[in-house]
Structure 1
Amino acid sequence: MQSNSCVLILYASYGDGHLQAARSLQESLLSQGIKRVLLLDLMAEAHPFINDLTRFVYMQSFKTIPHLYGWVYHITRNMKAESPFSNWLHSFGIRRLREVLEQERPQLIVHTFPQLALPHLKTRWGLTVPLINILTDYDLHGRWLHPHIDHYYVPSQAMRSEAIQRGVAPAHITVTGIPLHSSFEAIPVEAEARLHKRKQLRLEAGLDPDKKTVLLLAGAYGVLKNVRDVSEVVAQREDAQLVIICGKNEPLRRDLEKRYGSLDNVQVHGFTRRMSEWMLLSDCAVTKPGGITVSECIRCGLPVFLLRPVPGQELANALYLQQQGIAEVCQSPALLAHALSDMLDQPQRLDMMRQQMEQLQMPDAAARIAGDLVTRYMKQTTLGTKLAPIPVLQGNARTANVEQ
């Protein structure tokens, strides 16, 4: 690989999923021999105040205005790339993008978040660098679609079919799953091997290897509602045990430790980098259906219970899981408690859900995407040819300093 090989990955910090996917792909591209793989949080660097404000609104939308967020998501789901709203939405960060392109001269640009300023400017700037989208949810929002995107990597066959119906050429779509942290890719593919590992991990965590184990994920920032109500369902059962991950919500962690600290069948943890282990040792999970979390559950063969999914991409993810027979979507804590108790009383139903999950397994998504990107777009460099770097800007770009 030539020393000038460079890939730029654009992500956003609205939740942790887009960054996780970007980092996973970065690691895989580096292992493929790409010399430089740069991550850019475009909104954070270009418009820090707007970024902080919109992140705050995004987080609050889960707590106070979920239906407003869902309404906006729904009415813009079929937005067109050439619409005025689309042009405005993708207009942020242009100046910072130009600076990065002129300085780094990437040979490939990847989006793990649909901030598509470059596709909108491809003709105006004379861009020749390939533009790639990696979708990180199970619902196809119009923000991701643009005629100047060269290739899409999507999480499911259903999304590929919908993208084709909405005008994307079949040759420009590959079904790969969603890139996950390398710890998830190390999980055994075979169900029996995962079962053996599950009991081993329970012993290492100080849990009973034979008790039904429920994992409650409050989210990276501890925003899952009604955590305490859900916890009571399992805490009161003698045949089950509960692991609660509170993320970065320290007040919640302290409150739950005070409440359940004396119980042998409940463990409470804060932020963790061992999520793959906690998921693998569990029989089912109560969580919010972010795209990355959903994909991690599928990878671990972990059936999920979802409480009042937020309208928008998370509700769409939830409905997708329910259609696949691997999730229970509940609209109240009482209904979730009833569904969870029924499932724990009927372990054969959990087994059926796990078997269904086997059909959806897509391991090594990041490695497969990275390999395909190198083959499609950087093969000349990989083979050691002496081709000049692909120009980033040309034509009438006023501030470009590009060697011809």
Structure 2
Amino acid sequence: MQSNSCVLILYASYGDGHLQAARSLQESLLSQGIERVILLDLMAEAHPLINELTRFVYMQSFKTIPHLYGWVYNVTRAMKAESPLSNWLHSFGIRRLREVLEQERPQLIVHTFPQLALPHLKTRWGLTVPLINILTDYDLHGRWLHPHIDHYYVPSEQIRHEAIERGVAPARISVTGIPLHRSFETIPVDPELRAHRRQQLRLEAGLDPDKKTVLLLAGAYGVLKNVRDVSEVVAQRSDAQLVIICGKNEPLRRDLEKRYGDTSNVHVYGFTRRMSEWMLLSDCAVTKPGGITVSECIRCGLPVFLLRPVPGQELANALYLQQQGIAEVCHSPALLAAALSEMLDQPQRLDRMRRQMEQMQMPDAASRIAGDLVTRYMQKAPMGTKVVPIPVLQGNAYR
């Protein structure tokens, strides 16, 4: 390893998944001897006002016009790298990128979000630095694909096959899973050890170790009316218990604590840094199918119930999980409550889903990706990055 080694990781703040994957990879790269690993939210630094506006529109589209968001996602899913739309989407942040490259001189650049300004400019700028994509969903959108990406790390064989069909050379794709928080990497791979740890964690949390335990990630759904039907299914059962995680939604936490304060088998919590433990001690989870959350559930062997997945990458994630036999997709709280009640009455179905998850385990994704990057690129990388002045083109592209 050469001294003063540096890796630049580009992410975006549209949800927490891209940042979480970036941080996980950062820790693994540092642990393997890379001296500097820099995280850059390109849109936030280069265009803060546009970033806040687009984040607001993105989140509101999920809540208020999900079908419009899904339509846009699906229409652009097969977009080509050199299409006018692709050129425009990847044109933001050029000047900030040049500043960072000239200052930091990275030997490797990694994307955990498909803002691919550098691949579009690699030839024009004369860049020699390798460019890497780490996909954070179980669906392959065209924004991730570009002929100047040197290597792709993908979460499943299905994504690998589709990337090959869309023109990516097989040697440029590695199936690794998605980088997760380091707390998930301490989870035992052996299912019997996981089951033993599950019982220990229930006792430590003050739960009944023998009751079926349902984890409801209520913060993802935002308001009480979307979780009440699901909560009531478990609250009325003597053989089950419910853990509700409200995240940073304090009004929701207060509402649920008021409603279930006297219910002994319902436990309400706010924000937690122990998500890996709550997932591991549970028998199933009710959540939304973000790519990171999905991977965390797989890592914990935790079957999932998915309520009204938003059209777009979330729906694609949900359908992938359902095809693999590890999730139930429900399109209303009432249907989800019925499916959950039926599943609790038939624990053998949960066992089948857990066994299927064993075939999908990809532990230590961040460490394996970091190790491969170091071996593949860093041990022989030239120091620094060649950067030439940004060309001023006609029209508004790259200006």
**Pair in the same fold by TM > 0.5:** yes
1:235 aligned residue:
235
Structure 1 pair 166/219, CA: closer, same or farther in 2 (3 Å)? farther
TM-score (norm 2): 0.96
Q: Secondary structure at the match of 1:54?
A: helix
- The farther-off stretch of 57-66 and 282-291 is 57-66
Structure 1 CA distance for aligned equivalents of residues 74 and 375 of structure 2: 37
Instruction: Show the counterpart of 1:248.
Output: 248
Give the secondary structure class of the aligned counterpart of 2:50. helix
Unaligned runs of 5+ in 1: 382-387, 400-404
One-letter identity of the residue aligned with 1:257: E
1:169 lines up with 2:169 in the alignment: yes
Match of 1:360 in 2: 360
Q: Aligned pair in 2 of structure 1 residues 222, 332: CA closer, same or farther (>3 Å)?
A: closer
Task: Give the share of equivalent positions with the same residue, in percent.
Answer: 87
Q: How does 1:87-236 map to 2 (within 5 A)?
A: 87-219=87-219, 222=222, 226-236=226-236
Q: Would the aligned equivalents of 1:135 and 1:154 in 2 still touch at CA under 8 Å?
A: yes
How far apart are the structure 2 equivalents of 1:32 and 1:222?
39
Deviation at 1:14?
A: 0.7
Seen in structure 2, the aligned counterparts of structure 1 residues 237 and 257 have a Cα distance that, compared at 3 Å, is: same
Change (3 A) 1:398 1:339: closer
Q: For residue 392 of structure 1, what is the amino acid of its counterpart?
A: K
Letter in 2 for 1:19: L
1:319–1:224 distance in 2 versus 1, CA, 3 Å: farther
CA contact (8 A) 1:325 1:356 kept: yes
Q: State the Cα distance separating 1:81 from its structure 2 match.
A: 0.4
Corresponding residue of 2:14: 14
| Aligned 8 A contact 1:63 1:223 in 2 | no
Unaligned runs of 5+ in 2: 393-399
Deviation, structure 1 residue 2: 3.2
1:74-131 residue CA offsets vs partner (Å, 9 max, x unmatched): 0000000000000000111111111100000000000000000000111111111000
CA contact (8 A) 1:217 1:285 kept: yes
1:261 aligned partner: 261
Matching residue's letter, 2:25: L
What secondary structure is seen at the aligned counterpart in 1 of 2:380? helix
Aligned partner letter, 2:252 = L
Listed one character per residue, the Cα deviations across residues 206-260 of structure 1 (whole Å, up to 9, x for unaligned) are 1100000000013468479712222111111111100111111111111111111
Does the alignment pair 1:31 with 2:25? no
Q: Aligned partners of 2:12 and 2:390: how far apart in 1?
A: 26
Relative to 1, partners in 2 of residues 1:9 and 1:225: Cα closer, same or farther, differing over 3 Å? farther
Corresponding residue for 1:392?
Answer: 386
* Alpha-carbon distance in 2 for matches of 1:391, 1:179: 26
- Name the counterpart of 2:40: 40
Q: CA deviation at 1:263?
A: 1.1
Cα separation, 1, equivalents of 2:4 and 2:132 = 20
What's the C-alpha RMSD, in Å, of the aligned pairs? 1.5
Task: Mark the CA change 1:319 to 1:207 in structure 2 (over 3 Å): closer, same or farther.
Answer: same
**Cα distance in structure 2, aligned partners of 1:213 and 1:118:** 47
CA distance in 2, matches of 1:202, 1:246: 19
Cα distance in 1 for partners of 2:139, 2:365 equals 18
Q: For residue 395 of structure 2, what is the aligned residue in structure 1?
A: none
Aligned to 2:55: 55
| Residue 10 (structure 1) shift | 0.3
Aligned residues: 392
SS of the aligned residue for 1:139 comes to coil
Q: Where has structure 1 moved over 3 Å in runs of 4 or more?
A: 219-225, 396-399
- Counterpart of 2:379? 379
CA distance in 2, matches of 1:224, 1:99: 46
Which whole-Å CA distance do the structure 2 matches of 1:366 and 1:96 have between them? 27
Shift of the alpha carbon at 1:397?
A: 5.1
Q: Which amino acid aligns with 1:200?
A: Q
Moved more, 169-178 or 232-241: 232-241
Q: Is the 8 A contact 1:62 1:223 kept in 2?
A: no
Judge conservation of contact 1:305–1:327 (CA < 8 Å) in 2.
Answer: yes
* Structure 2 partner of 1:402: none
Q: Residue 360 of structure 2 aligns to a residue in which SS?
A: coil
> Counterparts of 1:253 and 1:175 in 2: how far apart (Å)?
38
8 Å Cα contact 1:222/1:248 also seen in 2: no
Structure 2 contact 224–252 (Cα < 8 Å) conserved: no
What SS does the aligned partner of 1:147 have? Answer: coil
Pick closer, same or farther for the CA change 1:35–1:224 going to 2, 3 Å: farther
Aligned mates of 1:327, 1:145 — CA distance in 2? 28
Q: Which amino acid aligns with 2:387?
A: L
Return closer, same or farther for 1:286/1:221 CA change in 2, 3 Å cut-off: closer
- TM-superposed CA distance for 1:60, in Å, is 1.3
Whole-angstrom distance in 1 between the partners of 2:126 and 2:352: 53
Deviation of 1:338 after TM superposition, in Å, equals: 0.8
55-64 vs 355-364, which moves further:
55-64
Cα distance, 1:3 vs structure 2? 3.0
SS in 1 for 2:148: coil
Distance 1:38 1:220, change over 3 A: farther
